[in-house]
Amino acid sequence: MGEAGGVLVVGADGTIGAAVAARLEAIGHDVIRTSRRRSPETLPLDLAADPASWRLPGGVAAAVLCAAVTSTEACRSRPDEARRVNVEAPVELGRRVAAAGGRIVFLSTNMVFDGTVPFTPASAPRCPQTAYGRMKAEAEERLLSYGDAVSVVRLTKVIGRTLPVIEGWRATLGRGETVHPFSDLPMAPVTLDLAAAVIAAAACERLGPILQVSAGADLAYADVAARLAARWGFAPELVRPVTVAESGTRLEHVPAHTTLDASAVRDRLGLESPDPWAAIDEVA
């Protein structure tokens, strides 16, 4: 790695990685994709493997670190494995890219905060309440210690065409059964397009140490389920909201808020925090 070259997208077969790689190509960048799936035209890279075995291309201008163990349950139940992928690997990869003069964009989450206040500022102290959030918080802090080469992009819930929870609701409703979405669990959904636009912009030019992408308000999962059920033509009685406590589900943490202060994205890129329903209305 050394002089300016293409953009390395690590985890290019993931939801966000694929969208970011496509966007960067669409605006004229050479994109080098990594994947652990051995899909065509990707470099194989398993972040859980020994870093000595990694074969990284030289001369990248920037690396966008999209690969992660994103399941909060996997982070809780298999912390050693998840930590290798979510903390040790991005920190080492970032170290190598920064040492060679490249920029790093690391994807993080509102879950580095506890969600006690809405629109958490980027500068607020991290206070994660889940294993996943703690890993992201540690990786952020260690990567940012490399200095100006690094930008962290924190995202709230990103929705492409769907989400596993949404597919679950649709399948259950399709069988004529009731769904029990949480009435006290919030999300601040943004479209995959918005997330990819901000991440691609951060890969092209350093826009600051931390950028936050957020919808302009939170929605309860129960309200999202009700809206989608109506759109899909299911009877409203089939949506019966419950609180997390009533459901008996053991979540590590139920935040009161998930929105982030996205004023840097507005000021630097002219992108306002969208209405949260805009992302829901893009669900297939």
Ligand X SMILES: NC(=O)c1ccc[n+]([C@@H]2O[C@H](COP(=O)([O-])OP(=O)(O)OC[C@H]3O[C@@H](n4cnc5c(N)ncnc54)[C@H](OP(=O)(O)O)[C@@H]3O)[C@@H](O)[C@H]2O)c1
- Indicate the residue among 66 and 185 with the shorter CB distance to ligand X: 66
Binding track, positions 178-207, relative to ligand X; x by CB under 6 A? ------------------------------
Output phi, psi for 3, to 5 deg.
-70, 165
One-letter identity of residue 49: A
Using CB under 6 A, pick the residue from 7, 8, 9, 11 that binds ligand X. Answer: 11
Is residue 59 within 8 Å of 5, Cβ to Cβ? yes
How many Å separate Cα 104 from the centre of its chain?
A: 15
Is residue 29 within 8 Å of 196, Cβ to Cβ? no
Binding track, positions 150-179, relative to ligand X; x by CB under 6 A? -----x-xx---------------------
- Indicate the residue among 139 and 226 with the shorter CB distance to ligand X: 139
Residue 48 is a binding residue for ligand X (CB under 6 A): yes
Of 129, 191, 153, 188, nearest to 68 by C-alpha is 153
Is residue 101 within 8 Å of 1, Cβ to Cβ? yes
Q: What is the footprint of ligand X within residues 17-46 (CB under 6 A)?
A: 17, 36-37, 45-46
Using CB under 6 A, pick the residue from 31, 60, 69, 200 that binds ligand X. Answer: 69
Is residue 196 within 8 Å of 16, Cβ to Cβ? yes
d(CA 102, CA 94): 9
Residue 94 is a binding residue for ligand X (CB under 6 A): no
Q: What is the footprint of ligand X within residues 222-281 (CB under 6 A)?
A: none
Residues near ligand X, by CB under 6 A: 11, 13-17, 36-37, 45-48, 66-70, 85, 107, 109, 155, 157-158
